[in-house]
Chain A
Amino acid sequence: SAVISQKPSRDICQRGTSLTIQCQVDSQVTMMFWYRQQPGQSLTLIATANQGSEATYESGFVIDKFPISRPNLTFSTLTVSNMSPEDSSIYLCSVEFGINQPQHFGDGTRLSIL
């Protein structure tokens, strides 16, 4: 099965700074997704990262706060900008290897903001 690498695996950041999370897949995928999982809660979709076009954001998430890049079919980044303690969460990358296929997840990035 394909390998999905996400880094960093965890970080502790200062309030007001930004962090970029990387997601690398070892095969080409059409769709990549970014989720947030706040403590004790389920996964919430932040945005869908499309190659060659702007990401599609879900309600409550905006590009200025969570800019996303998708430069090719194997890589995407999510930046959490101007962080506050409320952004402390696990951020997950997932991919779909084809239409009507289930999503597969990276290990996640555990982010803590002081």
Chain B
Amino acid sequence: SYDLTQPPSVSVSPGQTTTITCSGDNLGNKYICWYQQKAGQSPVVVMFQDSKRPSGISERFSGFNSGITATLTISGTQTSDEADYYCQAWDSGTVIFGGGTKLTVL
């Protein structure tokens, strides 16, 4: 089965740049989406097709897929960005989520 691997946690100070990675085989053949899930809430898509931001998502969020690793970058990280972040891809007609990365802003 296909796997997407994310670091379990990332910690940054307010104002710093956050980088969350997502790795998997043949990422160059797949689109990656990213979801933000704050405590007690349903997930929200923050990036689709590797690097496109849905309307309403801050320009501080950006994405990139190098073919080896997909990256979600949050510039000027704010305390309100503290959440779990999940990458997601399609593989053989099924949907795969990464294990999630807990972003702590302190």
Is this pair of chains taken from one and the same complex? no
